[in-house]
Amino acid sequence: MPDATTRSKLSAGTVLLFATACGISAANLYYAQPLLPTIERSLHLSSGSAALVVTGAQIGYGTGLALLVPLGDMLVRRQLVPVILVVAAVALFVASAAPTATILVTAVAVAGLCSVSAQILVPFAAELADDATRGRVVGTVMSGLLIGILLARTFSGIVAQLLGWRSVYVVAGVVVLGLAGLLARALPNEQVREHYVYRELLASVVHLMATQPLLRLRAALGGLVFAAFNVLWTSLAFLLVRPPYGYHEAVIGLFGLLGAGGALGASFSGRLSDRGYERVVTGVSLTLLTGSFVLLGVGAHQLWALVVGIVLADLGIQAVHIQNQQLIFAIDPAARSRLNTGYMVTYFAGGAIGSATTGIAYAGGGWNAVVLLGGAYSAAALLVWVGSRIFGFGHAVPSPAR
């Protein structure tokens, strides 16, 4: 637990800095999604080869979650995060000039690897906050991260339309490089922490997952809701480009603003958690998420239902995610980065499964099949949570385990 001097440095401006840094870092994963047709033509690729650009970023991110995020419990984060961001900026510049698909995929994979700096900053912010404000702080920082994810597609589409797809990576690289310099000067100092050998640090992540039932429960909930998130956002463009909507890419990109609204609303859930309403917020959020897929089904032909369904789905997903992280960070203050690693690896795995099954569902049954799939993941999360309440598993916070 940080002392009073450390906590006093977590001003509103510092929280905003954390939120902005997380959003910029996470956005690096998603710039390529609206650019794939253009990249395909520019580099003379097949659709499958162009899709590897997104896959490379995701693989890099998953690797970073497992290998880099635990370092936040061992190294000085004020130094670690800027170094990671400098590497990310270099990778983005390489991507902007990539003459071949191999170089481009490799560059975005490195950028994806370094995007996990956001997952180092979130537990850092939680550590700097006191018990009375931790939920609000985590909620605000996570909202910044989520808004970065959701608006990355809109930013990418607009810049690419005006300046070309390579300019997206140039602009992103400049922004990330500037952020690295700002964080090196502005991040708060930290208390001296326990020294670990790196392999022991990684092994302790597995130990925490094996011994902490709250972590396992919240990781399972996170994986299921992120699967539902990816079901929605992976398939939405396919619905919007076809009748009855027939929207162009620029309009489709603007739908990310709806998700951003949900993310902002979800930040309020952190304040409710500070007041002891975690159980209520989790239950209501999972219920909203499950119900949103009913509206999304109607949204196949009714724009109002689609819009409301998207907002409710994102509100439910992000509120659960914020509750999850708020709770797991309380398990052991000295192991927050490793706890976040265990949680986020499961969260990311759920999202990957959601994306993979979405393609199969859409190919087999179109939007209706996708809605059923997303509803199934959401209902499964709700059932897991209800089961945990009835049978009492995964709620008591055990004593710290290193």
For 26, the enclosing helix (H) or strand (E) is helix 12-27
User: In angstroms, rounded to a whole number, what is the distance separating the alpha carbons of residues 29 and 54?
Assistant: 8
Q: What percent of the chain has pLDDT over 90?
A: 43
* Domains along the sequence of the chain with CATH: 1-195 (1.20.1250.20), 200-397 (1.20.1250.20)
Residue 216 has pLDDT above 60, yes or no: yes
Question: Average pLDDT in the 179-185 region?
Answer: 95
Tell me how far apart the alpha carbons of residues 173 and 148 are, in angstroms, rounded to a whole number.
15
* Mean pLDDT, rounded, for 382-402: 73
Can you list the pairs that 238-243 forms with residues at least 24 positions away whose Cβ atoms lie under 8 Å?
A: 238/362, 238/367, 239/299, 239/300, 239/306, 239/367
pLDDT value at residue 168: 94
Question: In this predicted structure, what is the pLDDT of residue 398?
Answer: 45
C-alpha span between 326 and 139 (Å, rounded) = 8
Report the candidate in 140, 79, 89 with the shortest Cα–Cα distance to residue 110: 89
Decide: 166 and 96 in contact? Cβ < 8 Å. Answer: yes
pLDDT at 288: 95
pLDDT tens-digit readout, 299-352 = 999 999 999 999 999 889 988 988 898 889 889 888 888 998 899 889 988 887
What is the crossing angle of helices 117-128 and 12-27, to 10°?
160
pLDDT (0 to 100) of residue 289: 96
- The amino acid sitting at 312 is L
Instruction: Among 14-18, 109-113, 151-155, 373-377, name the one with the lowest average pLDDT.
Output: 151-155
pTM for the whole thing?
0.79
**Best mean pLDDT range from 72-76, 140-144, 376-380, 392-396:** 376-380
